[in-house]
Chain A
Amino acid sequence: GATGSSQLEKEISTTESVNNANEHYYGLVNFGNTCYCNSVIQALFFCRPFREKVLNYKQTLKKSGASKDNLVTCLADLFHSIASQKRRVGTIAPKRFITKLKKENELFDNYMQQDAHEFFNYLINTISETLIQEKIAEREKASRHGTLKKGNVTVNLAPATAGLPRSDEKGTSERNGGITVEGNEFLNKSDTTTWIHEIFQGILTNETRCLSCETVSSKDEDFLDLSIDVEQNTSISHCLRVFSETETLCGDQKYFCETCSSKQEAQKRMRIKKPPQLLALHLKRFKFVEPLNRHTKLSYRVVFPLELRLFNVSDDAEYGDRMYDLVATVVHCGATPNRGHYITLVKSNSFWLVFDDDIVEKLEVSSMEEFSGMSTDANIQMPPGNQSAPQKNSESAYILFYQARDYAADDPNHNHKGKNSTHSV
Chain B
Amino acid sequence: MHQHMLGPSTSLGGTNNSALQSSVLSEGVLLSHSQPTREEIKKNFETREGVYRSVPSAEFSRPRPLPQYHMPPGIASAAASQIAAAGSTVRVSFLNGAEKSVESPEAVAPTSSTYEHHKNEPNGARIDMVDEAQADKICFNVGKELYVFSYRGTQTETDLSRPIDKRVYKGTSPTYHAFNQESAKNGSCQLLIGFTLGQLQIIDPLEKSSSSPFSRLYNEDRYIEKTSVTCIRWLPGDSNIFLASYVSGNLYVYDQRISAASSNNNGSSQPPPWTIHKEGDKFAIHTWKGKVQRNPVTRWQIGEGSIHQFSFSGSDGKMMATVSHDGFLRIFNYHAQELLAVMKSYFGGLLTLSWSPDAKLIATGGEDDLLTVYSVAEKRVVCRGQAHKSWVSQVKFDPYLCTTEEDLENNGIAMTSTFDDVAKDFSIRSGPVPSTSADLNSGVMNATSTFSRCSLASFNTINGAPAGNSVRYRIGSVGHDTFLCLWDITEDMLNQGNIRRHRNSTIIAPMTTLEVQTNSLVGRLEDLQEVSPGGAGVNASSDSQSITNNHTTPRPEKQKKKKFTKRLGFSKFTSGSSSATSNPVGGHKIGTLMNGASVNSESSKKQNPGLISQISCCNETRMLGSKFCPGIRDVPMIEPLMCKKVSHDRLTVLEFREDCVVTACQEGYICTWGRPGRYQPKRDCINSPGTASPESGQKPSGSTSAMTSSYGYGSDALNGVPPSRSSSTYSNSEQQLRSPNITSPSYRVSAASTSVYHRPTYAWQNAN
Contact = CB atoms under 8 A, between A and B. Distances in A.
Given A125-B17, A321-B632, A386-B78, A193 B573 contact: no
A407 to B, nearest CB: 7
A237 interface: yes
B585 interface: no
B187 to A, nearest CB: 39
A305 B390 CA distance: 10
Contacts of A69: none
Contacts of A383: 76, 78
B32 A229 contact: yes
Contact of B631 (A162, A231, A316, A321): A321
A243 B28 contact: yes
A131 B579 CA distance: 41
Interface string B633-675: 0000000000000001110000000000000001100000000
Contacts of A245: 31, 510
Contact of B5 (A121, A274, A311, A364): A274
A359 interface: no
Given A246-B510, A309-B368, A375-B666, A197 B547 contact: no
Contacts of B650: 233, 301, 375
Contacts of A189: 6, 10
Given A158-B4, A161-B6, A227-B21, A307 B348 contact: yes
Contact of A370 (B8, B86, B554): B86
Contacts of B554: 159
Interface string B1-21: 111111111111110011011
A227 B565 contact: no
Interface residues of A, number: 114
A382 B78 contact: yes
B79 A227 contact: no
Given A158-B4, A233-B390, A319-B544, A228 B28 contact: yes
B31 A201 contact: no
Contacts of A122: 14
A156 B391 contact: no
Contacts, number: 302
Contact of B346 (A165, A309, A388): A309
A201 B2 CA distance: 13
Contacts of B32: 229
Interface string B603-643: 00000011001000100110010000001100000000000
A346 to B, nearest CB: 18
A423 B570 CA distance: 50
Contacts of A422: 249, 301, 304
A393 interface: yes
A367 B720 CA distance: 47
Interface string A333-355: 00000000000000000000000
B572 interface: yes
Nearest to A159: B557
A315 B547 contact: no
A79 to B, nearest CB: 22
B4 A277 contact: yes
A177 interface: yes
A402 B56 CA distance: 44
Interface string A141-176: 000000000000001111111111110101101100
Interface stretch (A40-48, A84-92, A216-224): A216-224
A60 interface: no
B84 to A, nearest CB: 11
Give the interface SS of chain A, mostly helix, strand, loop or mixed: mixed
Interface string A278-306: 00000010000000000000000101011
Nearest to B86: A393
A121 B37 CA distance: 29
Contacts of B249: 422
A66 interface: no
Contact of B559 (A164, A193, A198, A365): A164
A388 to B, nearest CB: 8
Contacts of A121: 14, 17-18, 21
A253 B31 CA distance: 12
Contacts of B25: 227, 284
A417 interface: yes
A158 to B, nearest CB: 4
A379 B81 CA distance: 10
A187 to B, nearest CB: 12
A376 B369 CA distance: 20
B28 A229 contact: yes
Interface in B561-617: 561-562, 564-566, 568-570, 572-573, 576, 579-580, 609-610, 613, 617
Contacts of B570: 207, 209, 214, 216, 267
Nearest to A376: B649
Nearest to B569: A216
Which of the listed residues A198, A233, A376 has the most CB atoms from chain B within 10 Å of its own CB? A233
A113 interface: no
Contacts of B325: 365
A105 to B, nearest CB: 10
Interface string B451-482: 00000000000000000000000000000111
B367 to A, nearest CB: 4
B570 to A, nearest CB: 4
Given A121-B14, A423-B284, A198 B2 contact: yes
Given A192-B10, A227-B25, A375-B650, A409 B621 contact: yes
A321 B552 CA distance: 17
A6 B420 CA distance: 73
Given A160-B558, A277-B2, A365-B305, A197 B624 contact: no
A72 interface: no
B247 interface: yes
A414 interface: no
A205 B609 CA distance: 46
Contacts of B5: 158, 160-161, 201-203, 222, 274
A220 B8 contact: yes
A238 B28 contact: no
B532 to A, nearest CB: 14
Interface in A224-263: 224, 226-229, 231-235, 237-238, 242-243, 245-248, 253
B79 A386 contact: yes
A238 B349 contact: no
Interface string B324-350: 011100000000000000000011110
B390 A235 contact: yes
B416 to A, nearest CB: 50
A307 B347 contact: yes
Interface string B32-65: 1010010000000000000000000000000000
21 contacts: A128-B12, A158-B4, A159-B557, A160-B555, A168-B8, A202-B5, A207-B570, A209-B570, A233-B389, A235-B390, A235-B480, A237-B369, A243-B31, A284-B28, A307-B327, A316-B561, A321-B631, A376-B85, A406-B621, A419-B326, A423-B301
Given A209-B570, A246-B511, 8 more contacts: A159-B556, A165-B562, A220-B8, A222-B8, A235-B389, A246-B573, A321-B541, A386-B78
In the A-B complex, the 7 residue pairs with the smallest Cβ-Cβ separation, listed nearest first, are A170-B8, A305-B348, A305-B367, A192-B10, A222-B7, A125-B14, A158-B3
